[in-house]
Structure 1
């Protein structure tokens, strides 16, 4: 479906090194790594938002529909949730179904700023789904949410992926436990410049434990 041939990306100093991988339909990838290592940079490259990459860095993207859930909801604040979804091509009936799917069936006439952070993020997820994506990109979708809202959103995303088995997903997260809920594959980005140190299916023996130890070590090192 998608082939990564990223030869590197720098912002004065190198951020990404070589990143070579393939994303297939139905892949549910959690992307982990230390803070500031370049996870969002990699996600932006995959989405096509970084025009400075050299050569055919992401092969096959022009044939795909991509939905991108940013850390900020990026809904148009002066338009209702219904209007935000219709702007990306959803009919009124489709928009209402999408809002129902994310638990916001009673909020179609609300403006984004009238919602809580968790509700606004679910509305933004509905907008992503309105484009009927082949690939869903999620950049720290659970950041700044309280544990209950984060858990509800994780279960919602897992349910959506189960309902769309051909849709691929890449989710940037700092929580290794998210892998067990959302992923069938794990990427771990590390190094200077950053490269994929792990690119394996979740069932690989010892993988989750290794990631949790790495993340725990990084957290203790920063404290």
Structure 2
């Protein structure tokens, strides 16, 4: 499946136990190749966000290992700017204009003001916010704020983009619009994306592969290759093939719950 792709992220028999004894992830084993759009799909408490945080070096494995670019995540974060994280909330600085929020990671990197501004303008145009560069976050809708957050992440031209349910709080129309924009960006920028959701339709629409997870403790239940063509905007969410993948993912999710005695 992904054997011909350069390894970007690898979880090898990895377990994570929190200090209170909660087993967040147990014997988690998964490899993500370069250019993939892989989605973690599962119920609340199955370790989806924990896996993402460990990829970003924000938490350490209790056993086994996590590798990012064949290195410890903290080493990768310390020595490169190749990883960006988009959280559930945009987390914009309210006192900074849109463009000033977007250039922030470039400022921290020491990029010249001229180069940083040019790159910020590029990514703002990519997400459809070029005309809002001088606006403040309070003047934007929820969907626009999330676009700024994505633009800020893209400004650093990361090789790996981590996204933790970024569209969960948005209305369905805005959510679908941003899903389409994200795919267009992914195809253009060739960035590897790890995405977290509990929405089956979203997982199928976006992904090259879906990692279905179960909770109690968090485990990888199954992996689904989504062999739908890109660009996905040509695919109707009511098409028979799309619906078949939705059913398959839903069935796998239900099976993962059954295995832990739920439902």
TM-score scaled by length of structure 1 = 0.88
1:210 offset after TM fit, Å? 2.7
Q: Which one of the candidate residues 132, 136, 139 is aligned to 2:157? A: 132
Partner of 2:89 in structure 1? 72
State the secondary structure of the residue aligned to 1:138: strand
State the secondary structure of the residue aligned to 1:7: strand
For the pair shown, the structure with the greater C-alpha radius of gyration is: 2
Superposed, 1:1-223 pairs within 5 Å as 1-5=8-12, 7-11=14-18, 12=20, 13-51=22-60, 53=62, 56-60=65-69, 61=73, 62=76, 65-89=82-106, 91-165=116-190, 167-203=191-227, 208-213=246-251
Conservation of the 8 A alpha-carbon contact between 2:41 and 2:196:
yes
Going from structure 1 to structure 2, the CA distance change for 1:82 and 1:24 (only over 3 Å counts) comes to: same
Structure 2's unaligned 5+ residue stretches are: 1-7, 107-114, 229-240
Comparing 119-128 with 96-105, greater Cα deviation is found at: 96-105
May I ask how many residue pairs the two structures share in their alignment? 219
Structure 1's unaligned 5+ residue stretches are: none
Conservation of the 8 A alpha-carbon contact between 2:24 and 2:45:
no
Conservation of the 8 A alpha-carbon contact between 1:16 and 1:38:
yes
TM-score scaled by length of structure 2 = 0.75
State the secondary structure of the residue aligned to 2:200: coil
Going from structure 1 to structure 2, the CA distance change for 1:56 and 1:135 (only over 3 Å counts) comes to: same
Conservation of the 8 A alpha-carbon contact between 1:4 and 1:59:
no
1:176 offset after TM fit, Å? 1.2
